[in-house]
Structure 1
Amino acid sequence: MKQKKIPQRMCIGCMEMKPKKELIRVVKNSEDEICVDLTGKKPGRGAYICKCNECLEKAIKSNRLAKNLSHKIDEEIYERLRVELKDE
């Protein structure tokens, strides 16, 4: 039987390639709205981050999320990500 390929994505915090299901996706849609996509299926430009606080803080400090999505990120998005990481 053929082995199924696991999609890999890069975390914007630690810059490591990891399986897509282990990461949280932040997406910018066509109306330039930024939201956290837990399903990984919303349309738009996506950026991925590990489910650990260290990666989130690195991404915030270096402003990588805003650079990847080419849009200013509101503080409420960062707070939503922090809440999601606490639930994990």
Structure 2
Amino acid sequence: MNNRKKIPLRKCIGTGEMKPKKEMIRIVRSKEGEVSIDPTGKKSGRGAYLSLSEEAINAAKKKNSLSNHLDADVPASIYDELLEMAAKEKK
């Protein structure tokens, strides 16, 4: 029997790449319309996945794909926080 666990893949909305879920960060829009970063991946609400790389974050910001995917306005502070997380991840 095949005992290997299936690795869940998600599509990055910045680059369009399929990557393992654990390598990505989830951004969530709650029912109230509040957008937040979900490092655990367990918050309830509409979610979008983004690679933790400067290129992916900047691409998502340029294309406005986070706002389009979540059907909500994404504040610039979210992008700033994501860029900080990407810089920490890089080290």
Give matches, 1:46-57, under 5 Å. Answer: 46-57=47-58
The residue number in structure 1 matching 2:42 is: 41
TM-score (norm 1): 0.95
The residue number in structure 2 matching 1:61 is: 62
- Where structure 1 has 5 or more consecutive residues not aligned to the other structure, the ranges are none
Calculate the aligned-residue CA RMSD, in Å. Answer: 0.9
- The alignment partner of 2:3 has SS state of coil
Tell me, in whole angstroms, the C-alpha distance in 1 between the residues paired with 2:65 and 2:17.
14
Tell me, in whole angstroms, the C-alpha distance in 2 between the residues paired with 1:14 and 1:78.
15
Tell me, in whole angstroms, the C-alpha distance in 1 between the residues paired with 2:46 and 2:69.
9
Tell me by how many angstroms 1:2 deviates. Answer: 2.2
User: Are the aligned partners of 2:52 and 2:82 in contact in 1 as well (CA < 8 Å)?
Assistant: no
- The alignment partner of 2:5 has SS state of coil
- Where structure 2 has 5 or more consecutive residues not aligned to the other structure, the ranges are none
Q: Percent identity?
A: 45
Tell me, in whole angstroms, the C-alpha distance in 1 between the residues paired with 2:7 and 2:31.
27
The question of 1:70 aligning with 2:68 is answered no
TM-score (norm 2): 0.92
The residue number in structure 2 matching 1:30 is: 31
